Amino acid sequence: MAVETQRLLTTSKAISEAIAQEMERDPRVFVMGEDIGVYGGIFGATEGLLAKFGPERVMDTPISETAFIGAAVGAAVSGMRPIAELMFVDFFGVCMDQIYNHMAKIHYESGGNVKVPVVITTAIGGGYGDAAQHSQTLYGMFAHLPGMKIVVPSTPYDAKGLMISAIRDDNPVIYMFHKGVMGLGWMTPNPRATGPVPEEPYTIPIGKADVKREGRDVTVVTLSLMVHRALDAAEDLAKEGIEAEVLDLRTVIPLDREAIVESVKKTHRLLVVDEDYRSFGLSGEVITTAIEGAFDHLDAPPARLAYPDVPIPYSRPLEQFCLPDRGKIAAAVRQLMS
Amino acid sequence: MPSDETLREMHHQMVRIRLFEETIQKIYFEGKTPAFDIAAGPVPGEMHLAAGQEPVAAGVCAHLRPTDAVTATHRPHHVALAHGMDMKKLAAEIFGKDTGLGHGKGGHMHLFDPATNFGCSGIIAEGMPTAVGHALAFKKQGRDDVAVSFFGEGAANQGAFHESLNLAALWTLPVVFVCEDNAWAISVPKEKATAIANNSDRAAAYGIPGVLVPDNDPVAIYEAAGEAVARARRGAGPSLIEIKTDRLLGHFEGDPQAYRTKEELALLKERDALRAFERRLIDAGSLTAADAEATWTRCRTEVDGAIEFARTSPYPEPAAALQHVFA
């Protein structure tokens, strides 16, 4: 997507700017979570908000996810538009009942009479040695449960537009940012985590994938940090004469099935790159979508590169062995082409 | 002491709740005899009735207005009715009809009523955090509405109970936590599940008032709730009330209750708070015997009308199951 601005922001700054602009526009919007005030969010998603809006609208909470995510649900039903941060998605276990039995189901159970406009922001992903309880992506698990939209941006531009859409949406939205796309000074430098972001507010529709790189030979469907890795791999492949199309899903729910099918019809080959666990998840869903919608167009069986079905190990060689990366993506594409 | 008018209204609420619950009980077994099949009849699924717990609903909800939020449990009918939920829409939802509160999508444990800001949850203690959230919204909006969270004594051992009390106390939110101690968490008696005798004592852990109402007395409940609701309305923060109440029926309909003795069940029937309250009002001259009789008749008519409405209402179109996942 061409962005006509020279202003560069990191993804974390793009997110906090989006929240700030929506808080200025709509007094019903407020933020709560652990360390989101004075600290600005462990991953910077709420940086500067406390100074701008004060502690009534930017509320540090106790370490009490069931209470404050449940409070977000109740506040939304009573007319507010809360944003609640679950520091790491891995912490869902201490509050999942509020998320999937309450937030996600109330609109349905009420026959459409009660809206629950909550945004839950949460950090996902590994690659930096944080081990089994602080490195998962888990969007596939949330996506399996009906009633929540799932947003997983990969660029600063998308992060801002999708955050504004998420806040304005009348449904619960899980907004998942990968730590590796945030552009944090204390993570391994990632040039793709900084990009052009217009200053004025704008929206990106939830449910629309985006072609991050056009190509004729193979479709790489991916999302979040793996978009960066796939773009790196595509550059390497281009030198060999293989033009990979990189389709960034951007949102998991609703899934842009049409974009997947259209791209596969064009390239006739599909690789799914997924940092989530391999089985019973996103990669299987994307491949099923391609088979259902473009079976006759496929020149090779669809392939996937995903996290093996093991808890995330700590030691660097172990974790790197499990994670998809630039080299593994390029190798998987080559195999698909051969 | 509540006025005679309030007492009569509380009596009226208790009668209509009792008749509603007894009627649902009878209907529940339609199609389920001689062999019990939980999926059969006009009302399938689990059915948790609140006969015996009417004093809690009547005494607390007497202080509420429709804009006050109420969250209840898997046993929600008494509270829903006392807070003003339309009985017809409630009955229709229980029957799974399109005219029900949730067009048949919720069922009796998942009732949501924007008209009375009512919601309930079938997950123990998990209605409590949402009540905290309603109260948070009221405070932010500058309203003097309050949120009331009803839960059973079994819920007080869940994390959500403690997290909710802490957050409501920390942020001085207008919440009234009402623990309905009916002594039984399905088949496990309270003394085998809870380390202390009275959950109201747990309020001290969060620096908020904890009040014990020891005897299912509607007037004592009314007075305790009045104080707690007033405190919340004036912005002084949450309270915890524990009421020793009676579950006259099984945990769910079809529960053989082998864990309870015949003597206990007989005792509960004998001390039925509704009958006792009615006698007391008549003895005190707050209610005439004729008025009491008229109340039962009026409520019978209301319940019959609601059931008739539910029975004759259409089912939703089957494919409507696919609607309302998202707004």
Q: What was the pLDDT predicted at A1?
A: 56
pLDDT digits (tens, 9 = 90+) for B181-201: 999 999 999 999 999 999 999
Mean pLDDT calculated for residue range A45-63: 98
**ipTM (interface predicted TM):** 0.95
**Nearest-CA distance from A208 to chain B in Å?**
17
Name the DSSP class of B71.
E
Contact B121 A102 (CB under 8 A): yes
Q: What was the pLDDT predicted at B3?
A: 97
Measured in whole angstroms, how far is the alpha carbon of residue A191 from the centre of its chain?
A: 18
| CB < 8 Å to A111, chain B | 100-106, 324
pLDDT digits (tens, 9 = 90+) for A269-319: 999 999 999 999 999 999 999 999 999 999 999 999 999 999 999 999 999
A171 in reach of chain B (CB within 8 A): yes
**Which candidate from B101, B133, B326 shows the least CB-CB separation from A71?**
B133
What are the residue numbers of the active site of A? Answer: 134
Contact A301, A332 (CB under 8 A): no
pLDDT digits (tens, 9 = 90+) for B259-289: 999 999 999 999 999 999 999 999 999 999 9
> Is residue B212 predicted with pLDDT exceeding 80?
yes
> Is residue A4 predicted with pLDDT exceeding 80?
no
Classify residue A313 by burial, with Cβ atoms within 10 Å: 0-12, 13-18, 19+.
middle
Q: Determine the 3-state secondary structure of A151 from DSSP.
A: strand
Residue of B nearest to A112 (CA): B324
Contact A31, A39 (CB under 8 A): no
Cα separation, A226 vs A276, whole angstroms: 10
User: Which of B86, B134, B170, B322 is most worth mutating to test chain A (most A CB atoms within 10 A of its CB)?
Assistant: B134
A62 in reach of chain B (CB within 8 A): yes
Q: Is domain B4-307 given the CATH code 3.30.2020.10 in the classification?
A: no
pLDDT digits (tens, 9 = 90+) for B13-41: 999 999 999 999 999 999 998 899 999 99
Q: For each of the domains in chain A, give its residue range(s) and CATH number, in order of start.
A: 8-196 (3.40.50.970), 210-337 (3.40.50.920)
Q: What was the pLDDT predicted at B315?
A: 98
Q: Supply the DSSP string of B87-113, one letter for each residue.
A: HHHHHHHHTT-TTSTTTTSS-TT--EE
| CB < 8 Å to B140, chain A | 30, 56, 75, 80
Cα separation, A32 vs A79, whole angstroms: 16
Residue of B nearest to A149 (CA): B326
The number of beta carbons lying within 10 Å of the beta carbon of residue A67 is: 28
Element (H, E) at A71: helix A65-77
Nearest to B148 by CA among B70, B203, B53: B70
- Please give the mean pLDDT across all residues of chain B: 97
| CB < 8 Å to B117, chain A | 77-78
Indicate yes or no: pTM above 0.80: yes
Q: Determine the 3-state secondary structure of B114 from DSSP.
A: helix
pLDDT band at B118 (very low <50, low <70, confident <90, very high): very high
B34 in reach of chain A (CB within 8 A): no
The two tokens of residue B23 are: 């009627």
> Is residue A229 predicted with pLDDT exceeding 70?
yes
Mean pLDDT calculated for residue range A74-81: 98
The two tokens of residue A257 are: 């099935």
Q: What was the pLDDT predicted at A3?
A: 72
**Nearest-CA distance from A67 to chain B in Å?**
5
Q: Supply the DSSP string of A109-139, one letter for each residue.
A: HTTT------EEEEEE--SSS--TTS----H
> Is residue A34 predicted with pLDDT exceeding 70?
yes
B172 in reach of chain A (CB within 8 A): no
| CB < 8 Å to A56, chain B | 140
The domain spans of chain B are 4-307
